[in-house]
Amino acid sequence: MSKTEQLNNSEKEIVAVTKHGQATIPKRFREKLGIEAPGKVLFRETEDGEVIVEQVRSPREMRGFAARSEASTDKPASEILKEKRDQDRKERDSQFSTEE
């Protein structure tokens, strides 16, 4: 069972964790993050000690990703991906940052 709490204009939900370390991500959070079941999520810790949950795209969703458009830069793909990840991470962090 879960319990929803309203605190500081943000919703929080308490969920049980099984003895195997499993927890169910509440539906509204899965929908907000675009997480589909079955699937995978990434847990990462920020420098501030906050834990962020991110959607991990399936290989099926990524199929043909690189072939969708012609190259428009001489930058290596790894550099472009790193820049995009950094940009996405900053956007997500700003979405979930708490205002004091």
pLDDT in tens, the chain (100 residues): 445 544 455 678 899 999 999 999 999 888 888 888 888 888 999 999 998 888 887 766 666 665 555 656 677 888 888 888 999 988 888 877 755 4
Q: Is the pTM of this model over 0.85?
A: no
Asked whether the beta carbons of 39 and 56 are under 8 A apart, the reply is: yes
DSSP state, residue 32: H
Asked whether the beta carbons of 85 and 71 are under 8 A apart, the reply is: no
| The two three-digit tokens of residue 13, written as one number | 């939900």
| The two three-digit tokens of residue 41, written as one number | 């999520």
pLDDT for the residue 13: 87
